[in-house]
Amino acid sequence: MIVKWIEGIGDWRGIMFKKVRRLIMQADPEIVEELKWKKPSNPLGAPVYSHSGIVCIANVLKSSVRLTFVKGASLDDPAGLFNGGLDSKTRRWIDYSEGDRINEAALKNLMRSAAALNLASRRQPAT
pLDDT tens digits along 46-70: 899 999 999 999 998 889 999 999 9
- Ranges assigned E (strand) in the chain: 32-36, 46-50, 54-60, 65-69, 92-96
- Domain layout of the chain by residue ranges: 2-123
pLDDT at 43: 76
pLDDT at 126: 56
> What is the number of alpha carbons within 13 Å of residue 49 lying toward its C-beta?
29
Helix axes 12-27, 104-123, angle to 10 degrees: 50
**Reported pTM:** 0.88
> Span 2-123: which CATH code?
3.90.1150.200
- Tell me which residues of the chain have a pLDDT lower than 70: 1, 3-5, 123-127
pLDDT at 117: 95
